Structure 1
């Protein structure tokens, strides 16, 4: 048995913090065999469609991250929209934390 003071731990490194942003997404399924459609509520230009929710959410995160990184690297505020919008009757809401 080892002494707890000798336990290995991950090193703490100094460096810049990684920005994290909330990506709020509304997802809907277009019929039983139709595509999955998603739209980012707080960054409206981000939209995607595809064969599965997983595929669509990956596309949403990629687009969201690209836009956020672009603004962040220029030191400009990201044009997020603050809204209390509710999902439509055929939509489900997803919250995705996005690290840059």
Structure 2
């Protein structure tokens, strides 16, 4: 019976690692966003960031991960020096409004 439980535990650990890899990817994309000057590339990065972030959150929810532990992985875009975060927010909001 314990080996049966270990299978689920190993599966959750693998999913957790996958989710953290996606968050790490989102962090790298976020840094690219801060430095990007081309609006077309910025739009692509915005959607890539959203996709990586949403996939990671979905995995964490599947394995019932304590979401309060994730606070340290978020970048505070409100205090960022780059105005690109506001552009990304606008791009994603416009897209959401278009499909709604």
TM (normalized to structure 2)? 0.39
Flag the structure with higher helix content.
Answer: 2
Whichever of the two has the greater Rg, that structure is 1
**Which TM-score applies when normalising by structure 1?**
0.39
